[in-house]
Amino acid sequence: MSFKSAPIFEIVRLIDLQPPGETGFCMLVDASSEPRLVRDLQEELAVQNAGSLGVIDVRDETVPALVEQLRKIQNAVVLMHGFDGWNEGTFASLDVNRSRLETGSFLVFSVDLETAGRFLDSAPNIRSFLGSNIFVAAPDPSAMGPEEIADRLAQLRRYYDLSDAEVIQRAANRDLPSEPHFIEWLILLGRSELAR
């Protein structure tokens, strides 16, 4: 299983397609750190003139409290993270209250792969609204310096104890796990065609 990987600038292009005032949804299955994702989104939204970014950490929030925050927030795009702390009942409660998420903002659910499965299994109405709008936030090598790319590749090699050549080989054999990290790895190596 692999999701569409898209660099942040493409995701923002898609967000920009949403008619103003109509709520949009997307889910970002992102392996990178939240601060980097938030920073990248903020910069890209500013450059593309696609609106401001609001960020909500939902970790300790109840659904009613989240709904109330969304009702008050004025930003064009709202990124929510911290769902890994939610249980299935809370996801189900959010699902029942799906109508109250329609605030006119574009909502981005940032989750890891495991949380994505739990979330969507317990929230079939929200899954239906998301449709195919589930992405792996891919790195944008054209916007990263060579040192940044080299550092990140070194991090991935250390974490998984695999070499670049091994990852490429396994991708060619369709034998790579579906973790977003591996999609990122292939893109940084300039082998994004193997990530499909």
Partner 1 sequence: MKRFNPTASAKVAIGEGLICQHAGRSVFKKLAAGADLTLGSQQLLVGGIGSGKTTELMLAERELARNESMSPLYIDVSAETDLSTVNSGALLASLGMHTWRAIASKFNPPEGLSEVYTAVRNAAFGHQKQVWVEDFPEPDFDDYDRREDYDESGHWKTINVPGKLKPPFPAFRRDVKDLAGLVSKLTGFLKDQGTELVAVFDGLDRLIKADQFWSVAEQDFRAIRPLEVSVLAAGPLSILYGQGRQVKDYFDEVHYLPPAVADPRVSSFLIDILRARGADELMRFDLMQKLCLASGGVLRDLISLARNAGENAYLEDADNIEASHVDRAIEQLGNSYLLGLGTRQKVDLRKLLRGDGFAPSDSTSMELLITRRVLEQSESRYEVHPALATVLSQTSNDPE
Partner 2 sequence: MPVRPWNRVEAAKALEARTEADLANISLPPPHEYFRDIRIYRQRATDGGRTRNGVHVLSRHSLGNGDTQINAGPTIFRDPCENCIQFRSGAQLAFGVTLRFDGAQSTLLAYRFYLSLLPASGLRFVRIDLNAPKETYDPLHMPRCHMHPGFEGIHMPFPVMTPIEVLDRIVHVIEPHFTP
CA gap 78, 55 in Å, rounded: 6
Among 49, 60, 72, 99, binds partner 1 (CB under 8 A): 99
For 148, phi then psi, to 5°, come to: -60, -45
Q: Choose among partner 2, partner 1, none what residue 137 binds, the Cβ cut-off being 5 to 8 Å by kind.
A: none
Residue with tokens 């009613």: 64
Beta bridge partners of 5: 136
CB of 22 to partner 2, least distance (A): 19
**Identity at 140, one-letter amino acid code:** D
Q: Candidates 23-31, 45-53, 76-84, 157-165 — which segment interacts with partner 1 by CB under 8 A?
A: 23-31
Find the helix packing angle between 146-160 and 164-172, rounded to 10°: 80
Q: Is 45 in the site for partner 1 (CB under 8 A)?
A: no
CB of 143 to partner 2, least distance (A): 5
**Identity at 196, one-letter amino acid code:** R
- Which residues are at the interface with partner 1 (CB under 8 A)? 1-4, 6, 10, 13-14, 17-19, 22-25, 62-64, 67, 92-93, 95-100, 102, 116-118, 120-121, 124-125, 127-134, 174
